[in-house]
Amino acid sequence: MTLETPMQTSPLIGNDPVPEEVIGRIARAREALGKHVLVLGHHYQRDEVIQFADFRGDSLDLAMRARDSGDVRHVVFCGVHFMAETADMLTPDGVKVILPDMRAGCSMADMADIDQVEIAWDVLTGATDKKIVPITYINSTAALKAFCGRHGGAVCTSSNAKAVVRWAFEQGEKVLFFPDQHLGRNTCYDLGIGLDEMVVYDPHDPHEMTGGNDPKVYDESRVILWRGHCSVHTNFMENHPDIMRQRYPGIKVLVHPECRFEVVRKADVAGSTRVIVETVRNAPPGTKWAIGTEHHLVNRLRQEHPEQFVSTLAPFACQCSTMFRISAEALADRLEELARGEERNVIPVDPETTRWALIALDRMLDMRD
């Protein structure tokens, strides 16, 4: 394999040309709706969808765009369900957030539901008299964000997780971090917390509903990690950085902190989606990158920066299959419905959940790195 053939199956995987008929439908609907609709596209979205977005970014960037949307009446969020929920909570009353395809969920967010977290909270608070501060990754449901708001905790993103964890230890003696164990482990380790001070709580523990551990372990640990993960980023394995460095001398490994601990330890740079994009954008020509994140973003960076060598870190394409469910046809359908005065796939969050979730979100926004 030569430098002219990066270890990527194809720059066009999942990026089929959009039929002219669909392009026309979207254009006519956008013209009819004018400035009253905002289309947002997440970085992991496929090219044939994100090309129609007014803005693209990570989940928090896009939620903030929705919040500051001015005269917009509808936000069409080309992302996944939890992102649309967050946008709904941050937008003014009267602005409705629409998900083009209701099947676009998040497997990580699905790994922690409110009933499981309530049970875990009872187990943990019953095992120690020390104060536990809950932190939920933004990749979670509105109900879990509200849980953190009610219990003195906060939301975090991959870019400000360190700041939020530091804040949490100023508020209490222990942290419950969910739903992504890898982001929690990588963040806490970078802050000087040893692996022996962390324990994993398994919500599917079949033995007496104690999270798979003797309860006294929770009293002895500083960090309780939820057994959850990103189905994309856990595809990157410990040997992948070694393989790429052997194959391409001088290559830099750039990964998302949702990757496994062993992968992040071997990376040259680990950071949020925004960090990944900006690192490549600001790198000098001739730089070589093996990137551990969703392959639509890797392919886009590869196409936008031909002056650099950009490849996926894995020997196969790691795709967010739920994000992939959104299509240009679905976007056209939703926009045409709005142009006719119809609303489908609206993502509403009830006022009580919104009230508590915004408390946790506001704590996070105060700590943006």
Do residue 146 and residue 196 come from a single domain?
yes
Q: Name the helix (H) or strand (E) containing 119.
A: helix 114-127
Final residue before a domain boundary, out of 263, 288, 312: 312
207 pLDDT more than 70:
no
Quick check: is 140 in a domain?
yes
Same domain, 307 and 337: no
Same domain, 277 and 308: yes
Q: In this structure, what token pair is assigned to residue 334? A: 């939703």
Confidence of residue 368 (pLDDT cuts 50, 70, 90): low
How far apart are alpha carbons 251 and 310 in whole angstroms? 9
Tokens of 41: 């596209």
Residues 187 and 266 grouped into a single domain: no
Task: State the maximum Cα–Cα separation within the chain, in Å, rounded to a whole number.
Answer: 63
* Three-state secondary-structure class, residue 198: strand
Q: What is the pTM of this model?
A: 0.91
Whole-number Å distance between alpha carbons of 253 and 266: 8
* Rounded percentage of the chain residues whose pLDDT exceeds 70: 95
Q: Which residue has the tokens 């936000």?
A: 75
Q: Look at residues 230, 252, 276 and tell me which one is the last residue of a structural domain.
A: 230
121 and 88 assigned to the same domain:
no
| pLDDT over threshold 80, residue 9 | no
Query: Does residue 1 have a pLDDT over 80?
Result: no
Same domain, 177 and 137: yes
Query: Closest Cα partner for 176 from 139, 222, 215, 242?
Result: 222
Same domain, residue pair 87 and 130: no
* C-alpha dihedral (288, 292, 297, 300), degrees to nearest 10: 20
Residue 9 lies in a domain: no
How open is the CA angle 40-320-246, to the nearest 5 degrees?
120
7 in a domain, yes or no? no
Q: Is residue 342 part of a domain?
A: yes
Distances (CA, A) of 59 to 63, 74, 302: 6, 17, 21
CB of 37 closer than 8 Å to CB of 73 = yes
- At 6, is the pLDDT very low, low, confident or very high (cuts 50, 70, 90)? very low
* 134 and 219 in a common domain: yes
Question: Is 163 in contact with 365 (CB distance < 8 Å)?
Answer: no
Number of domains making up the chain:
3
pLDDT, one tens digit per residue, over 306-316 is 999 999 999 88
Rounded Cα distance, 271 and 293, in Å: 10
Distance CA 153, CA 155 (A): 7
Domain-embedded: residue 276: yes
List of residues 6+ apart from 10 with CB closer than 8 A = none
Give the domain CATH number at 54.
Answer: 3.40.50.10800
- The answer to whether residue 214 sits within a structural domain is yes
Of 211, 230, 249, which closes a domain? 230
Residues 261 and 275 reside in one and the same domain: yes
Q: Confirm whether 6 is domain-assigned.
A: no
Residues 245 and 223 in one domain: no
Judgement on whether residues 168 and 143 belong to the same structural domain of the protein: yes
| Cα(13)–Cα(6) distance, integer angstroms | 14
- Report if residue 157 sits inside a domain: yes
Domain span at residue 330?
20-104+324-349
Q: For 317-366, write each residue's pLDDT tens digit.
A: 788 888 889 999 999 999 999 999 999 999 999 999 999 999 999 998 88
Q: Quick one: 165 and 189 in the same domain?
A: yes
